[in-house]
Amino acid sequence: MPLPLVIFALAAVLVAPGLLSRTSEELRRWTVTQLENEEEEPDEDVVEVSILRLKNARYRRGRPLPGWVQDLEGRTIRLWGYMAIGTLEGLEKFELVPESCECGRSKVNHFVEVSLTDDVTRFIPGRITLTGVFHAGEEKEDGFITSLYRLSTPALPD
């Protein structure tokens, strides 16, 4: 991010407590800050993956996953998503979904099962970005597929 924008963003954060008594100008500046914070720092060792691409990957039960998904096996990836509504506190696993509500029924290719190795769940509303080790393939229990995509990550973002 260019230095002037960094300074502007810092300044905007410093004035943020004043947002409870906002003026139009403060609100305008706040919207600009939001957009700037959408950018993530690139990391060459981490593969950026769209959860929407995973969701749309052509998958049929029992058939091999597309090559580009298989190529991600064991790689460190970064992806965004939402904690499924209804995620409980204190668990080591949760479903990361591309939309904030998946209506109580998940298709196996529509979520990434996230395992937290050093943390437990707390519900975070809004989009989160996670970095972790990715695994793909049908995981079954009693013939039911319980997950297709899995991500192992130490902890939830602050």
Partner 1 sequence: MHMPLVVAALVAASLSAPAPIGVQDDGKPAVTRENIDKLVRHARTGSAVIRPQAADRLVSFGGPAAARLLELSGDSNADLAALGTSLVEVLGRFEDERLRAKLWPALDDSEFPWRPAASRSLGAAPLASERERFEAFLDDPIAPVRLAVLEALSKITEPTDERFLRQAVRQLSDDNDYVRRAAAELLDDRGHGRALLWLVEDLRRVDSYFDQATGEAARYAAMYALLDRGIEVEPYDPAAPATGDNGRAIDAIGRTVEARADAMEAKLPEPLRGLVPRELPTIARAGAQVKDAVLGLALKSCRRGDYFLRWTTGDVLVVGYGNPARIQLPEGTTERLAALSGKTLEAAGDRFYWGRPGCDMESFRVPGTKAKGGRPQMLILSKDEQPGSDLRPGALSVLGAAMAASIPAGDDLDAADPRTRELARRVRDAFASIGGPVEKAAGEGARR
For residue 150, the minimal CB distance to partner 1 (Å) is 12
What does the per-residue mask of binding to partner 1 show for 125-154, with x meaning CB under 8 A? xxx-------------xxxxxxx-------
For residue 50, the minimal CB distance to partner 1 (Å) is 6
- Phi then psi for residue 50, to 5 deg, are -90, 125
* Dihedral over alpha carbons 7, 37, 132, 91 (to 10 degrees): 110
What does the per-residue mask of binding to partner 1 show for 23-62, with x meaning CB under 8 A? xx--xx-xx-xxx-xx-----------x-xx-xx-x----
Helix (H) or strand (E) holding 6: helix 3-15
> Among residues 50, 52, 75, which one has the least CA distance to residue 136?
75
Question: In 3-state terms, what secondary structure has residue 2?
Answer: coil
Environment class of 144 (CB within 10 Å of its CB; exposed 0-12, middle 13-18, buried 19+): exposed
Q: Which of 2, 45, 103, 118 binds partner 1 (CB under 8 A)?
A: 103
For residue 73, the minimal CB distance to partner 1 (Å) is 20
65: contact with partner 1 by CB under 8 A: no
Region binding partner 1 by CB under 8 A among candidate stretches 12-20, 70-78, 130-138: 12-20
Whole-angstrom distance, CA of residue 96 vs CA of residue 136: 14
Report in angstroms the alpha-carbon separations of 105 from 37, 45, 50, 109: 32, 34, 21, 12
67: contact with partner 1 by CB under 8 A: no
Tokens of 100: 């904030």
Residues binding partner 1 (CB under 8 A): 9, 12-13, 16-17, 19-24, 27-28, 30-31, 33-35, 37-38, 50, 52-53, 55-56, 58, 84-86, 88-89, 95, 98-108, 111, 122-123, 125-127, 141-147, 157-158
